[in-house]
Structure 1
């Protein structure tokens, strides 16, 4: 399916859903069952869009080019941008009502849904398995994931790389309990990694590429043939239902900046470098190994997410079983 048709599908499906969701009932576009919308659903349109973003990703690119701010300003809507060190922190903010929309990888929405965050999936980027990895210091003698047994491994708790670690350990015949997991946000993990306080670091781009470039970190294993590593666009259910036109505009602008970013990795990196404090070569490396092209939430994607959720529950990483489809608006169920 051509990219333009995919984007069109997302936007039209989302608009139908949210417009229906503002009334007393909404009809599932891909099914015949009517789904009741809670009577408490917010119906007031907002003149402010509060966006949570991370140090890298399509939403970050969108902030950098300023186009969404201009388009929404013409509609009487202002944007409040808030940066977060990772997806878990971003979704914690969404849970307490501090932001309306944001982007994360695969794992954070699962942890957040298990914690009761009222989120819904809006769309996603294609798989980018090479954009996250388990790193080891340049002079490390570790040669395989199996050799991480008993070692200290740093990662951001609840982030996308949490699942990468789980799957790589399984692949190597190790249990999650066989290693010493050290939960640290990216900046602290980088410091611990360079000091030798941890033996390995599981991290995503652009922190991953920056560690390769400046710290000469080595890749022990990346996500290829192990995980998908999707980037998701998420919103609170109340905001999505009450502001379909604003979300439609957001998705349109994300699609545009996605197309531009794919074809201009160097220009993108030069724009982001002073904002992120990361050198251009590292950002360009990260830009070239990720994938682009906003896609709809479909059954195949939901099945992948459900597998991650089930895996986390079995490991005791989330407190209860969840149904990922409960975090999808009716039109995409």
Structure 2
């Protein structure tokens, strides 16, 4: 399970050699003396910049051979991370917390923000839709305390959908104890919701797309209740300390891919994305589905990333603040041992070091 989980049945297996700490950046005899950089991803949009880099040969330009493994979930990726089988990758906020709690993971950039892809959804005619903007600071949120209390909600436990629900209830002044929370997997949750097993359900993409296609209505997205849900670029802390130049060069390549996504003609982007999903995951994505992706998954250019990672007046960056809110959720509803709390409180593992090394010239 991760902040976002696309299609459970799709797992692309890439042969991965065992990686030990001293051999993190060993030379590849088959790759013209390039440095192998082992990376990890979960099925979705965020590995596209790496795919594009391989296709264009950008990694070779930087003296690297990027090796990609795609996992079925963030938890699967973390199992391999714990034995040093990959150095850099993309993870959702909650899997990142699990990786950071042991003190050996750093967040160095944003892959995207999926806050608009997570939504509290109800049936047409639901009383939850009777009122909108009851909390003046959240004008797009449907519902009121009266209409929400004693209602039942389907969510996946300790996930982005669970976090979204908690923030939604908080905005409306309702305690989780005042509603009936049904913990169900996303796919089964959608089926259960179709059979009227709950008053509302909280989904992430592509289940939000599926639910919308069935006529269900969004009462609130995570973004609407300020529950920001980033997908992070993370790195093994020991690797980053041992190989800062490789880490910086990888991030430069990744940001070059994001720059292309944000600036290339949409027709070119859609064509490449369709090829990417087909080649990597065996998925045929229509232009409509890809447009939905671009509408709900926010990308950040280099200047915006530097802004979001910069410390504010209180010494905390916006990215740290997002993650700190999620950390509090995990500490309240998860099972983090007290001795490990110090590694996630304050989100000190979110660092601007490497994004600040990247220049606009690296993106061309």
TM-score (norm. length: structure 2): 0.65
**Contact 1:133 1:220 survives alignment (8 Å):** yes
What is the CA distance between 1:252 and its match in structure 2? 1.8
Asked if 1:298 corresponds to 2:334, the answer is no
Alpha-carbon spacing, 1:201–1:251, altered in 2? closer, same or farther (3 Å): farther
Q: Structure 2 matches for 1:185-200, cutoff 5 A?
A: 185-200=185-200
Alignment of 1:80-91 (within 5 A): 80-85=68-73, 87-91=74-78
**Equivalent residue, structure 1, for 2:45:** 57
The answer as to whether partners of 2:149 and 2:174 remain within 8 angstroms in 1 is yes
The alpha carbon displacement at 1:236 in A equals 1.6
Residues 195-218 of structure 1, C-alpha deviations (whole Å, 9 max, x = no match): 444543323334423432x33332
Q: Which among 291, 294, 310 is matched to residue 284 of structure 1?
A: 291
- Note the C-alpha offset of 1:165: 1.8
Asked if residue 267 in structure 1 is aligned to residue 247 in structure 2, the reply is no
Please give the per-residue CA displacement for 1:226-252, whole angstroms capped at 9, x wherever unaligned. 223322111221222233333223212
Q: Which residue matches 1:105? A: 92
TM alignment of 1:67-82, pairs within 5 A: 67=54, 70-72=57-59, 75=63, 77-82=65-70
In the TM superposition, structure 1's runs of 4+ consecutive aligned residues that sit over 6 Å from their partners are none
CA distance in 2, matches of 1:81, 1:327: 24
Equivalent of residue 307 in structure 1, options 321, 325, 329: 325
Q: 1:73 to 1:113 in 2, by over 3 A?
A: same
For 2:194 and 2:185, the matched residues in 1 are separated by 14
- CA deviations on 1:81-124 (whole Å, 9 max, x unpaired) are 21334x4554354335443322233333234434x262111112
SS of the counterpart of 2:90?
A: strand
RMSD: 3.6
TM score, norm. by length of structure 1: 0.70
How far 1:168 moved relative to its partner?
Answer: 0.7
Q: Where do 1:1-333 residues align within 5 Å?
A: 44-46=24-26, 47-59=35-47, 61-65=48-52, 67=54, 70-72=57-59, 75=63, 77-85=65-73, 87-114=74-101, 116=102, 118-125=104-111, 129-137=115-123, 142-143=128-129, 144=143, 146=145, 147-212=147-212, 214-222=213-221, 223-263=223-263, 264=266, 266-267=270-271, 269-272=273-276, 274=278, 275=281, 276=283, 278-292=285-299, 293-294=301-302, 295-296=305-306, 297-299=309-311, 300=317, 301-315=319-333, 318-320=336-338, 321=341, 322-328=344-350, 331=353
Does the 8 Å CA contact 1:145/1:169 hold for their aligned counterparts?
A: no
- Structure number with the bigger relative contact order (C-alpha 8 A, sep ≥ 6) is 1
Q: C-alpha offsets along residues 259-281 of structure 1, whole Å, 9 cap, x if unaligned?
A: 22234264355335544455431
Q: CA separation in 2, counterparts of 1:58 and 1:228?
A: 17
Q: Is the 8 A contact 1:156 1:162 kept in 2?
A: yes
Q: Structure 1's 193 and 79: CA in aligned 2 closer, same or farther, altered over 3 A? A: farther
Unaligned runs of 5+ in 1: 1-39
Pair 1:237–1:55, CA change in 2 (3 A): same
SS of residue in 2 equivalent to 1:110 = helix
Change (3 A) 1:330 1:233: closer
Change (3 A) 1:56 1:318: same
User: Aligned to 1:288, what secondary structure does the other structure show?
Assistant: helix
Per-residue displacement from partner, 1:36-85 (whole Å, max 9, x unpaired)? xxxx97575245433222332332x2244353783335636350321334
SS of the residue 2:57 aligns to:
helix
Question: Which runs of no fewer than 5 residues in structure 2 stay unpaired?
Answer: 1-19, 27-34, 130-142, 312-316, 355-364
Q: How many residue pairs are counted as aligned between the two chains?
A: 290
